[in-house]
Amino acid sequence: MIRKGTVADLQDVYDMIVDLAKYEKAEEEVEITLEQLKQDGFGLHPVYEFFIAESESETVGMALFYFRYSTWKGKALYLEDLVVREKHRGEGYGKALLNAIVEEAHKTKCEQVRWQVLDWNEGAINFYKKIGAKLDDEWINCTLNAQQIKAFNF
């Protein structure tokens, strides 16, 4: 079963974020707190939404997304994370979550669905190729972290 996430799902979402960071060997980079997830997703100005995949009332996966805007294409849905718990991978939950994301993009009149995948994550890359996604090796990601933002010379 795939459904829109609620505030009651946030502990599971947080746990899956940490699991994903462990899988990507970057657990120390997780700075988000459960309270911040609650405020950012369910506060006065929510900035993200998510879908939950369930099996017999157990949370087995999630897809967290938000909307962005392309000056060339228009409204886009950005898939931040798609996570299926390890013991449930290969059971169709990833595809079901991606279906929910694409359906949401269609319903909300998005021109694109975009996301990133690490270049070493062959399982995910093969999954995305199988569904026909274009994998772009031309663009380079750029980031300023919180410390750099605070120290920026305005």
Residues labelled catalytic: 128
CB atoms within 10 A of CB 114: 16
Distance of CA 70 to the CA centre of its chain: 18
The two counts, helices (H) then strands (E), for the chain are 5, 5
Dihedral sign from CA coordinates of 55, 57, 58, 60: positive
